[in-house]
Amino acid sequence: MSVPVTDQDHALQSYVGILGLEVLHDSPMGPEMRWVQIAPAGAQTTLSPVTWFPTTFDDPDGNGTILGAADTAN
């Protein structure tokens, strides 16, 4: 599942460093982007923190899944 973020390194610090998820894949995708996949140990579903989707959505119909956090620093 793609998770829109503004900073992949910061997201990895939170998901891996704090929550304990594992990095399954981290590779460049051209000069400006990279593909990252993380997951809890043994999980079949992965998360991909991505910077190419908007971090806020205006979706009055409620379609889609949105994950958000006010502050991932704490």
- Structural domain contains residue 26: yes
pLDDT of residue 30: 84
- Structural domain contains residue 40: yes
> Which are the contacts of 15, defined by CB distance < 8 A and separation ≥ 6?
21, 38, 47, 49
Residue, of 71 and 23, whose pLDDT is higher:
23
- Structural domain contains residue 8: yes
Name the 3-class secondary structure at 34. Answer: strand
In tens, the pLDDT along 13-70 reads 999 999 999 999 999 998 888 999 999 999 988 999 988 876 666 665 555 555 556 6
Identify the CATH number of the domain in which residue 26 sits: 3.10.180.10
Q: Is the distance from CB of 59 to CB of 65 less than 8 angstroms?
A: no
Residue, of 54 and 12, whose pLDDT is higher:
12
Q: Is the distance from CB of 38 to CB of 55 less than 8 angstroms?
A: no
Question: Domain count of the chain?
Answer: 1
pLDDT of residue 59: 60
